[in-house]
């Protein structure tokens, strides 16, 4: 009677969950994995219903489909995780193999060979195998801001794998030979399946919404081509650094960078290759700065770098290293270049400005860096110019910065 009550309750809850998730998928198509999660709930609900009717209509057939439905729910859960992880392929080949094994075991039993305990043993081990595979995908792709929901889902899957493996091993060694004990274990198994299914549903939905939120935040804060911060976010970082200066007296500098004659790159190679060259140049710039430095796209072919803790001398060294890194870039050969086509190089001009004192503002700092940049342009390009250092900055109290 307890098993029947658990199955009825589980079927109702999983059906409602499936309907809700599928409705969310229809109204919010950007939420990845939710549709597959709704399918997993539907498969679990079908398995519960078939278990309820196993003693009334074609019991062997009902149990076989129920086994496949329950295992299929974990396969669909795996597909949902693949979708959230944005894998190129969400085809669950391993899951199909497991479903094939489960079907073969059930058919073998229908033909009259073996004990029903073999079916329970196989089902437990196959679910554990699928849970383990999902964990192998889940944990490596966990990102910092998705780590909590990922850990929650992974923990439930580990628990599922352990419980099913333990039950299967106990069957192998005959610990459930007593029918009454077997009944109690079966009731506990169904109850844990429903509880874990609901927990996994919540966890995967949590992962999906967190991943979507992070994606939208990234879209709003970064340049879509170079994946650097946009101007709005870069200015926000500058304001934070100025606040830190007010509190701790830490110096900081800004570099304004412009690619020299970038129009020639686009005219020679085409805009598509020009975009690829720009992306590569950004990577070269990133290799010249520290992890705490902030690189942003100011607009067009102009970029800016915030250097926390850097005095004018330190900033000029970084700027020179950045300029040299870009100048070493090798460009592809121009397709069918004209005789009059000028020789194209990838170089940058850099203007350097350092925050002076409490009377200085971010706007004034950027204006000095921009003026230094145009001075570098006027002086022949492919060079670094340090902006005006007057008035003299206050005596900084800061730890040495290594560049």
Same domain, 160 and 300: no
Same domain, 300 and 217: no
Give the predicted TM-score (pTM) of the model.
Answer: 0.65
For residue 396, tell me if it sits in a domain: no
Collapse the DSSP code of 353 into the 3-class scheme (helix H, G, I; strand E, B; otherwise coil) and give the result: strand
Same domain, 153 and 251: no
Same domain, 129 and 235: no
CATH number at residue 238: 3.30.70.270
Same domain, 275 and 169: no
Q: Provide the terminal-to-terminal Cα distance of the chain, rounded to the nearest Å.
A: 73
Q: Could you give the residue ranges of the DSSP H alpha helices within 53-146? A: 59-84, 93-110, 116-138
Same domain, 235 and 206: no
From the list 286, 340, 336, 289, the residue with the least C-alpha distance to 317 is: 289
Q: How far apart are CA 73 and CA 339, in angstroms?
A: 65
Same domain, 315 and 355: yes
For residue 393, tell me if it sits in a domain: no
pLDDT in tens, 70-111: 999 999 999 999 998 888 889 999 999 999 999 998 888 877
Domain final residue pick, 198, 221, 244: 221
pLDDT of 402 over the 60 cut: no
Same domain, 215 and 252: no
For residue 397, tell me if it sits in a domain: no
From the list 23, 72, 20, 82, the residue with the least C-alpha distance to 44 is: 72
Q: How many structural domains comprise the chain? A: 2
Same domain, 206 and 235: no
For residue 403, tell me if it sits in a domain: no
What tokens were used for 302?
């102009």
Domain final residue pick, 165, 198, 221: 221
For residue 168, tell me if it sits in a domain: yes
For all residues of the chain together, what is the average pLDDT?
Answer: 84
Same domain, 26 and 168: yes
pLDDT of 25 over the 60 cut: yes
pLDDT in tens, 140-154: 866 656 788 898 999
Domain final residue pick, 163, 188, 221: 221
For residue 154, tell me if it sits in a domain: yes
Q: Report residue 197's pLDDT band, with 50, 70 and 90 as the boundaries.
A: confident
CATH number at residue 61: 1.20.1070
For residue 241, tell me if it sits in a domain: yes
Same domain, 238 and 203: no
Other beta carbons less than 10 A from residue 17's beta carbon: 22
For residue 398, tell me if it sits in a domain: no
Q: Range of 319's domain? A: 231-386
Q: Report residue 391's pLDDT band, with 50, 70 and 90 as the boundaries.
A: very low
Alpha-carbon distance values, 361 to 10, 274, 354, 355 (Å): 63, 35, 11, 8
Considering the chain, what percentage of its residues have pLDDT values greater than 70?
86
Same domain, 209 and 292: no
């Amino acid at each position: 009677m307890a098993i029947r009550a658990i199955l009825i309750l589980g079927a109702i809850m999983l059906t409602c969950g499936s309907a809700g998730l599928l409705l969310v998928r229809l109204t919010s198509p950007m939420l990845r994995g939710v549709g597959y999660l709704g399918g997993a709930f539907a498969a679990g609900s079908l398995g519960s219903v078939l278990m309820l009717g196993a003693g009334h209509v074609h019991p062997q057939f009902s149990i076989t489909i129920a086994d496949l439905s329950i295992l299929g729910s974990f396969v669909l859960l795996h597909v949902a995780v693949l979708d959230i992880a944005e894998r190129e392929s969400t085809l669950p080949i391993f899951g199909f193999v497991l479903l094939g094994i489960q079907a073969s075991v059930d058919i073998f039993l229908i033909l009259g060979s073996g004990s029903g305990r073999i079916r329970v043993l196989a089902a437990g081990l196959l679910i554990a195998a699928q849970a383990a595979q999902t964990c192998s995908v889940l944990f490596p792709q966990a990102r910092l801001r998705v780590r909590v929901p990922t850990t929650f889902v992974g923990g439930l899957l580990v628990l599922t794998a352990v419980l099913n493996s333990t039950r299967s091993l106990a069957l192998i060694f005959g610990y459930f030979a007593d029918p009454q004990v077997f009944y109690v274990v079966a009731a506990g198994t169904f109850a844990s399946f429903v509880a874990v299914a609901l927990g996994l549903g919540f966890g995967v939905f949590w992962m999906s919404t967190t991943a979507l939120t992070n994606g939208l935040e990234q879209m709003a804060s970064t340049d879509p081509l170079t994946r650097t911060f946009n101007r709005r976010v870069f200015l926000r970082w500058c304001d934070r650094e100025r606040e830190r200066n007010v509190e701790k007296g830490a110096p900081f500098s800004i570099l304004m960078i412009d690619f020299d004659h970038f129009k020639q790159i686009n005219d020679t190679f085409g805009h598509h290759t020009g975009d690829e060259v720009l992306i590569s140049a950004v990577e070269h710039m990133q290799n010249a700065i520290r992890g705490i430095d902030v690189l942003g796209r100011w607009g067009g072919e102009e970029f800016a770098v915030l250097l926390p803790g850097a005095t004018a001398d330190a900033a000029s060294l970084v700027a020179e290293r950045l300029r040299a890194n870009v100048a070493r870039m090798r460009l592809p050969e121009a397709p069918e270049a004209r005789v009059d086509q000028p020789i194209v190089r990838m170089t940058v001009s850099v203007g350097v400005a350092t925050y002076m004192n409490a009377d200085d503002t971010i706007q004034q700092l950027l204006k000095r860096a921009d003026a230094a940049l145009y001075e570098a342009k006027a002086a022949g390009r492919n060079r670094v110019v340090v902006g005006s250092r007057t008035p003299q900055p206050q005596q900084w109290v800061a730890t040495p910065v290594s560049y």
